[in-house]
Amino acid sequence: MAKGLVGQLLSEEQIAARVREMGAEISRDLAGQSVVVVGILRGAFVFCADLLRQMSLQTEVDFMAVSSYGDATESSGVIKIMKDLDTPVEGRHVLLVEDIVDTGLTLQYLKGYLAHQRPASLQVAVLLDKPTRRKTAVEVDYVGFTIPDEFVVGYGIDYAEQYRHLPYVGLVGEQNG
């Protein structure tokens, strides 16, 4: 049996409403600050673009691209930086924007990497949290949705580079036929 899209977990409307709330909360918390928003490619590109437009703050935007040496469904925690920041973040307020925190190993690595550059502050926003698979107690400041241990796609998130274009978050599973 082949794996494919089997359903919807979060609708376009649910995501939009939650991203609006997150943008407002972040804007309240970081009011008056100039923020470097760091999106993690590729999965967070849609979330990052939407979240930015719900934030009433002075922002700069940069991206990092990382890949994990693991198997297809679980990261190993050994992260390779494919694209580094172009913006120096020493002394800056940084908001790291990631798609999913699962084992937590990717985010833990990225937080350590950025903290090493001595930002004035470092906050983390993730769209989806799968807490049941956590291997390390990484702190996340803003969580969009806490979800069960299911493989999800859409809204920027892929399965084998497919489904990033979906406007909603869908579920991948075994398909008949």
By annotation, the residues acting in catalysis are 102
Q: By C-alpha distance, which of 26, 20, 25, 52 is closest to 38?
A: 52
Return the residue of 47, 75, 89, 110 that touches ligand IMP, per CB under 6 A: 75
Stretch that binds Mg ion, among 7-15, 23-31, 41-49, 55-63 (CB under 5 A): 41-49
- The item of Mg ion, ligand IMP, none sharing an interface with residue 94, based on CB under 5 to 8 Å by kind, is none
152 neighbors 129 (Cβ within 8 angstroms)? no
- The item of ligand IMP, Mg ion, none sharing an interface with residue 101, based on CB under 5 to 8 Å by kind, is ligand IMP
Residue 106 binds to ligand IMP (criterion: CB under 6 A): yes
141 neighbors 129 (Cβ within 8 angstroms)? no
x-or-dash string of contact with ligand IMP, 30-59, rule CB under 6 A: -------------x----------------
Residue 43 binds to Mg ion (criterion: CB under 5 A): yes
Q: By C-alpha distance, which of 121, 41, 48, 44 is closest to 85?
A: 41
Cis geometry, peptide bond prior to residue 133 (ω within 30 degrees of 0): no
Phi, psi angles (nearest 5°) of residue 109: -65, -45
- Judged by beta carbon, residue 119 or residue 170, the one nearer ligand IMP is 170
Stretch that binds ligand IMP, among 5-13, 18-26, 82-90, 92-100 (CB under 6 A): 92-100
Buried/exposed code over 90-117 (b: 16+ C-beta within 10 A; e: otherwise): eebbbbbbbbbbbbbbbbbbbbebbeee
- The item of Mg ion, ligand IMP, none sharing an interface with residue 103, based on CB under 5 to 8 Å by kind, is ligand IMP
Residues that bind ligand IMP (CB under 6 A): 43, 75, 98-107, 151-153, 157
